[in-house]
Amino acid sequence: MLFRIIRTVLIAGAITVTGIAQADSVKIGFVTTLTTPAGVIGEDMKNSVMLALDHIGNKMGNLDVELIMEDDGFKPDIGKQKTDKLVKQDDVDFVAGYIWSHVLLASMNSVTGADKFLISANAGPSQIAGKRCHPNFFSTSWQNDQTPMALGEYLNQEGVKSIYIMAPNYAAGKDMAAGVESVFKGEIKGKDLTKWGADAQLDFSAELAKARASGAEALYVFYPGKAGGAFIKQYQQAGLQGKLPLYTAFTVDSIALPKLQAGKLEGVLGSKMAQQWSPDMDNAANKRFVSDYLKQHGRYPSFYGAQSYDAIMLIKSAVEATGGNLKDKDALRKALMAADYDSVRGRYTYGNNHMPIQNFYLREVVEDAEGRWTTKIVKTVYENHQDLHASKCKM
Amino acid sequence: MDWNLLVTQLMNGLQLGLLLFLLASGLTLIFGIMDFINLSHGSFYMIGAYFCGTVVAKSGSFITGVIVGLIGVFAVGALVEWLIARKLYRKDHLDHVLVTFGLILIFDTLVHLLWGASGMAIPLPDVLNGQLSFAGLVLPTYRLLIIVAGLLVAAVLFILVTKTRLGMLVRAGASNRTMVEALGVNIDRLFLVVFALGAAMAGLAGMLIAPITEASIGMGNDIIIVAFVVVIVGGIGSVKGAFYAALIIGLIDTLSRSYLDQLLTLTMPDNYAETAAPALSAMLIYILMAAVLAFRPQGLFPIAGMK
């Protein structure tokens, strides 16, 4: 009995304390990967979040921003633990971030179950776009299938007759393969799903030999993070450059390119990919983001960074639209849904499943005026494209 | 049946097997002779890659990178033996595991502090970046170089173990340590040399793989488990066993990645096969290890007199 009284008093005390704290700050939890080799992606996201907070003077309306970064260690179980900690212990208002689809899938219920908002700055698994959609989930990236679909559409436009597919064996890898398959009209000559996770397969000799022997006209791969660099190297060493043109999704990015350039892997120049954003996009928000990032870090930001920057700006727009009243969840939700902010990719809208309806472009790897390797938009493949899973979402 | 593809895949398997051998030969000697479980053997693999990468970036020469890297890793190996491992030989296996696991964390963090999290690409000279083709086969030159280097090291190691005094002591030490000690051999120095040599071979494997996958933190931790599988399948302490087991495992891994999905489509729908195949091929080598442990626990090529 005595214990129960003490506990009640303590809990009441805790509620009052957090209640006071909530009044003058917006608490944002950000979950990404900061350790393991995939930590380079998390670093890019962190840099971009810091830059966004810098640009807004660390204020949303008249509330200070309190940011808490957490490292998921590239593991779904750790990601969920860290998310639980952010929600229960830190009592944040928003949880953002998430590079990996399997980490997001494991962590989502912890956030939405506590009636907090979750802003995905990268992962967009089909499940969350479809059956598992939730009113408190918003994405500043894309649904996994969309980017490869745009690429598949481009392959159709180019008249490519057959392709070979390689992707890692996990939630997003399957989405990325399925995305191209759903759109591409030619023949799929073969498909390899390779081992993924902390001990991911990085030697693709067997798969590249199969791809060469398959007689496919082009090669499509999805290898995010360090696997991407390794893949490009082996692609070039295998002499497939020029023989089996390379098309990628989320493989060649501003994180990999400086390293590929240092390794003189010219095979990547001219390779094509689909994406919703590119550093060369011509709008005020993007110019400010890219030039300040270049100044601070000496290289271009990646799409991971762009989406993280947008996540902060989206939250800011919602906080300001509700006059800083973080308790009014319905008003916040409505404000988030409006996407009323200057995204670095230009304006976009949200579908019923809270995934962006946006343009997808074809990008090519080129050398910029100062000799740095970067990506440039070649053409628009999809205008205002919505993902296929939206119809399965009852919202 | 595409014979060119099969030959290519056999070569790929051979290349993977030889890399595993470079790692496992040191591991099996250290395990067999000193009865020391070194989980941090993979750290030498990582350090080798980083040393080599740093020198290549400075000097522009891959060969210089490999030579300086080998000396560097040999020195690090000797230092680890002298400072840490030496005090642990007479302790329990659990102590070995705890200390060497701690070493992994220390080495990973040191690399993170010195070189950053982003990993390091190692550029190859143009000669090695090309491909060789004969009779319709196209193979990357660099992968052939790995095969040649691996076979060369295996041959040198074979001569060293079977024909020299050091090798005789190593073999004697692996069979019966107490007897070698009783005969008045400076066992401390023997252990130091074997440990450092094992480290240098692991470092060489790291240097050879890094231009393909790039040097990254924890790269050794991914492969060390497979190296232990090689040691167990081959027979603890047996260099010959490590050689054959490494080739068997390299071939099983490569060939299952190449053909298992086609094989499985014969018995199940395509979309099941393409998900099951990578999972199953990742499991195959452990199934092999389990089978060896069940039916021939001393390994396929055990050394005579090993308890």
Distance of CA A159 to the CA centre of its chain: 29
Task: Indicate yes or no: CB of B138 within 8 angstroms of CB of A212.
Answer: yes
- C-beta of residue A87 within 8 angstroms of C-beta of residue A107: no
Residue B60 φ/ψ, nearest 5 degrees: 80, 0
* Closest-CA residue of chain A to B214: A230
A-proximal residues of B, 140-179, CB under 8 Å: 140-143
Q: How many CB atoms lie within 10 A of CB A63?
A: 21
Provide the domain count of chain A: 2
- Which residue, chain included where needed, has tokens 């995939």? A38
Going residue by residue through chain A (395 aa), what tens digit of pLDDT does each one get?
555 656 655 555 555 444 444 458 999 999 999 987 788 899 999 999 999 999 999 999 999 999 999 999 989 999 999 999 999 999 999 999 999 999 999 999 999 999 999 999 999 999 999 999 999 999 999 999 999 999 999 999 999 999 999 999 888 898 899 999 999 999 999 999 888 876 788 889 889 999 998 999 999 999 987 788 889 989 988 888 888 999 999 999 898 898 888 877 888 888 999 999 999 999 999 999 999 999 999 999 999 999 999 999 999 999 999 999 999 999 999 999 999 999 999 999 999 999 999 999 999 999 999 999 999 999 999 999 999 999 999 98
**Partner A contacted by B2 (CB < 8 A):** yes
Q: Which of B121, B130, B219 sits opposite A259 (nearest CB)?
A: B121
Residues 6+ apart with CB under 8 A from A312: A28, A49, A52, A53, A56, A96
One domain for residues A215 and A131: no
One domain for residues A162 and A23: no
Task: Indicate yes or no: CB of B118 within 8 angstroms of CB of A234.
Answer: no
- C-beta of residue B283 within 8 angstroms of C-beta of residue B257: no
- C-beta of residue A283 within 8 angstroms of C-beta of residue A344: yes
Sheet holding A59-60, edge to edge: A59-60, A63-71, A25-32, A94-97, A117-120, A137-139
One domain for residues A163 and A228: yes
Task: Supply the CATH number for residue A86's domain.
Answer: 3.40.50.2300
One domain for residues A152 and A126: no
| pLDDT of B282 above 50 | yes
List of long-range contacts for A115-120, beta carbons under 8 Å, 24+ apart: A115/A329, A116/A87, A116/A92, A117/A93, A117/A315, A117/A329, A117/A332, A117/A333, A117/A336, A118/A94, A119/A94, A119/A95, A119/A311, A119/A314, A119/A315, A119/A336, A120/A96, A120/A311
Distance from CA of A101 to the nearest CA of B (A): 17
Residue A242 φ/ψ, nearest 5 degrees: 85, -25
CA B136, B137, B141: angle at the middle one, nearest 5?
135
**3-class secondary-structure state, position A238:** coil
Task: Indicate yes or no: CB of A263 within 8 angstroms of CB of B225.
Answer: no
Predicted confidence (pLDDT) per residue in B147-159, tens digit: 999 999 999 999 9
Q: Which of B16, B213, B225 sits opposite A230 (nearest CB)?
A: B213
Distance from CA of A164 to the nearest CA of B (A): 14
Q: Which of B122, B254, B279 sits opposite A206 (nearest CB)?
A: B254
**Partner A contacted by B279 (CB < 8 A):** yes
| Residue B205: closest CA among B270, B154, B245, B248 | B154
A-proximal residues of B, 234-273, CB under 8 Å: 254-255, 257-258, 261
Report the complex ipTM: 0.80
One domain for residues A234 and A376: yes
Q: Per the domain annotation, does A70 fall within a domain?
A: yes
Q: Which of B2, B140, B282 sits opposite A195 (nearest CB)?
A: B282
> What pLDDT shows up at residue A22?
47
Task: Indicate yes or no: CB of B123 within 8 angstroms of CB of A233.
Answer: no
Q: Per the domain annotation, does A10 fall within a domain?
A: yes
| Residue A148: closest CA among A213, A215, A208, A222 | A222
One domain for residues A388 and A319: no
Q: Per the domain annotation, does A110 fall within a domain?
A: yes
Tell me the C-alpha distance between B83 and B76, whole Å.
10
Task: Indicate yes or no: CB of A259 within 8 angstroms of CB of B211.
Answer: no
Residues 6+ apart with CB under 8 A from A11: none
pTM of the model: 0.81
One domain for residues A266 and A385: yes
CA quadruple B279, B284, B286, B287: dihedral sign: positive
Residues of B in contact with A259 (CB under 8 A): 118-119, 121, 214
One domain for residues A167 and A245: yes
One domain for residues A120 and A165: no
Instruction: Mark out chain A residues that contact chain B at CB-CB < 8 A.
Output: 35-37, 39-40, 43, 169, 174, 191-195, 198-200, 202-203, 205-207, 209-210, 212-213, 226, 229-230, 233-234, 236-239, 255, 259-260, 262-265
Task: Indicate yes or no: CB of A209 within 8 angstroms of CB of B2.
Answer: no
Domain with A124, as residue range(s), is: 2-142+282-347
- Which residue, chain included where needed, has tokens 């393991």? A36
Task: Indicate yes or no: CB of B212 within 8 angstroms of CB of A234.
Answer: yes
Predicted confidence (pLDDT) per residue in B22-58, tens digit: 999 999 988 888 889 999 999 999 999 999 999 998 9
Predicted confidence (pLDDT) per residue in A164-184, tens digit: 999 998 888 988 999 999 999
One domain for residues A170 and A65: no
How crowded is the C-beta side of B163, counted as CA atoms within 13 Å? 6
> What pLDDT shows up at residue B74?
97
Q: How many CB atoms lie within 10 A of CB B184?
A: 7
Q: Per the domain annotation, does A237 fall within a domain?
A: yes
